[in-house]
Amino acid sequence: MTASNDQQYLYVFLHQEKTGGTTLNAHLAEHLGFDEGFAHVGPWGNQTRAAAGRPRLHDWPEEQLARLRVIAGHDVHGTIHRLVPGKEPRYFTFVRHPAERAVSQYNHDASRTALPPGFSEWYDRQMPDPQFEGLRRALGVVGLWEVRRRLDDFWFVGVTETMDRDLPDILRTMGVPTDYRRRRVTGGGADIADVWPPIQDEPIVRHQDLTEEIREQVTARDTEDIGLYRYARERNAELRDEYGWD
């Protein structure tokens, strides 16, 4: 798949929490310009606009919306492309193995409290199948089969474990430089203050590693997320083959 015409497509990144998407969002904001070619819908984008006294995305004039090349964030939904008529939407997302995602979320949460609970105590309080539930709500469907049917229509479906392989192909197709930096990674990675100045986020400390016990615990409970992850791996391989991304 060759690089696209800048104005032909609207890329829509449905960013699920703790799947590695901050790296991509920061790179796109850096190269396309925040609220110029790239718009973020979610807490970060909303905070940045509020700090600058700018209107929310849904209140932009048509000519400003028409300049967008990418809409991304946790608050993306399956019809947000209608804000930018005249461009063909290309939706994409990443899914993470549920156990790896749970440990990442725990480290994120534990880094923001003085006395964090242990993983099991924390995990018991979490909503089951967070990735399935997030996609179900964003796409306006009910069951896993319906989520899969909607994802069949996505331009790309990735998995976090192969993101470093997929991002150069995604960025190259968008016509964006491929030399990205890792952001907001547990125990390392660049912060995001240079891209989103109002955000002074705390570093994420590694409080817990992934163990076989945790993997078994999460796999046994979050069965919808496991099914979604297996589907995403299969779909990822199919799309890479279709696009000739060797």
pLDDT in tens, the chain (246 residues): 665 556 799 999 999 999 999 899 989 999 999 999 999 999 889 888 998 899 999 999 999 999 999 999 999 999 999 999 999 999 999 999 999 999 999 999 998 899 999 999 999 999 999 999 999 999 999 999 999 999 999 999 999 999 999 999 999 999 999 998 877 656 555 566 666 655 556 678 899 999 999 999 999 999 999 999 999 999 999 999 999 998
Q: What's the confidence (pLDDT) of residue 117? A: 97
- Helical (H) or strand (E) element with 174: helix 163-174
Cα(223)–Cα(82) distance, integer angstroms: 33
**34: phi then psi, degrees, rounded to nearest 5:** -65, 125
N- to C-terminal Cα distance for the chain?
11
Q: How far apart are CA 125 and CA 2, in angstroms?
A: 45
At 214 the three-state DSSP class reads helix
Contact 207, 106 (CB under 8 A): yes
Is residue 3 within 8 Å of 35, Cβ to Cβ?
A: no
Farthest CA pair distance, the chain: 53
> 3 Cβ partners below 8 Å, 6+ apart?
172, 173, 174, 175
pLDDT score, position 48: 87
Give the whole-angstrom CA distance, residue 30 versus residue 148.
32
For residues 11 and 90, is the Cβ–Cβ distance under 8 A? yes
Helix, strand, or coil (residue 38):
strand
pTM: 0.92
Say if residue 153 is exposed, middle or buried (CB neighbours under 10 Å; 0-12, 13-18, 19+).
exposed
